[in-house]
Amino acid sequence: MKLTILGCHSATPRWDANPTSQVLEIKGHLFLIDCAEGTQVQLRRFNVKFSRIKHVFISHLHGDHFFGLVGLISTFRLLGREADLHIYGPKGIKEAITLQLKLGKSWTNYNLLFHELDSNEPELVFEDEKVIVTTIPLNHRVYTNGFLFQEKENERKLNIEAVKKANVSMSYYTKIKQGFDVTNEDGVLIDNKKITLAPPPSKSYAFCSDTVYFPQIIPQIKNVKALYHEATFLNEHQHLCERTKHSTAREAAMIADEAKVGTLILGHYSGRYGNYETFRIEAQEVFSNVELAKDGAVFEI
């Protein structure tokens, strides 16, 4: 899994600070997560092969998370895209996008498939043989979801020596890797565990932005390999969190600590702070493995 941060600042796009957008490369997919104004330029700047994007996940309908979507959709049209594009986002996103395309008489030549969300419970929104994506309902000023990206459990590995010893036909190897017990050439049922090795652990990434400190998400993101959690404020401005429904670096770290995640990645910094290293220092008082998002940063998960 490879995560590229296209933008990780809050509020308004500036010359050197882009609002939220990131791409996650996972099992051959290129998933776009949020799409602030300027995202298409950031995709070009960081040489992301963005024609490969087939699924876009939008957390909520604040401008700093979705005003770049209609432009990206239009650019795909101008570039002659033919592949379907799936958009997952809050109810209303379809109307917002299609109204603008209609006004410009700029309908796409490719299929634009909207999956509108309005549940307050986690929902499975995408699944194939290798990956599952689930919403993480958050608590913000408007309806908001984070997203949990999970690799499906990897196949077990054949213990070649044991398989041969057990006298199992090669035609069963696929079944064995999938975890099934099989009957050998002598008609004996062989316990799968005895002829396979445990698979490498499957990875997961949770994107949680924007949200107030919301420990209800902890069971769902337990043990994820990497958690991106918004940290708009430092603790000195914690009093602003309840009204704005944002979190501090310390609160993000509390979530990471309780969920026992591998790495915490902080982002969505308020523009009031000059030095983001203070976010890391504050978070590390609670949780040690902290990374700071910055535009253009790449995280191998």
Catalytic residue IDs:
64
Q: Is 109 in the site for a second copy (CB under 8 A)?
A: no
Spatial distance between the Cα atoms of 148 and 125, rounded to a whole number of angstroms:
10
Is there binding between residue 243 and a second copy (CB under 8 A)? no
For a second copy, the binding residue among 2, 83, 92, 223 (CB under 8 A) is: 92
Q: Is 190 within 8 Å of 182 (Cβ atoms)?
A: yes
- Amino acid letter for position 28: G
Segment near a second copy (CB under 8 A); pick from 22-30, 91-99, 160-168, 233-241: 91-99
51: contact with a second copy by CB under 8 A: no
Task: Say which residue the tokens 């949990």 belong to.
Answer: 148
Per-residue CA distances from 133 to 23, 68, 145, 204, 220 (Å): 14, 22, 12, 10, 12
Does 6 interact with a second copy (rule: CB under 8 A)?
A: no
Give the residue from 3, 26, 4 showing the smallest Cα distance to 132. 26
Looking at beta carbons only, is 63 or 215 nearer to a second copy?
63
The tokens for 87 are 């958009």
Residue 247's identity, in one-letter code, is S
The pattern of x and - marking residues 164 through 203 that bind a second copy according to CB under 8 A reads: ----------------------------------------
Q: How far is the CB of 286 from a second copy (least distance, A)?
A: 30
Which of 63, 200, 215, 219 touches a second copy (CB under 8 A)? 63
CA distance 31 to 9: 20
Query: Is residue 96 near a second copy by the rule CB under 8 A?
Result: yes
Per the DSSP assignment, residues forming a β-bridge with 150 are: 132, 204
The alpha carbon of residue 280 and the mean position of all alpha carbons in its chain are separated, in whole angstroms, by 21
**Which residues make up the interface to a second copy (CB under 8 A)?**
11-15, 37-38, 40-41, 44-45, 60-63, 67-68, 70-71, 74-75, 78-79, 90, 92-93, 95-96, 99-100, 103-106, 141-142
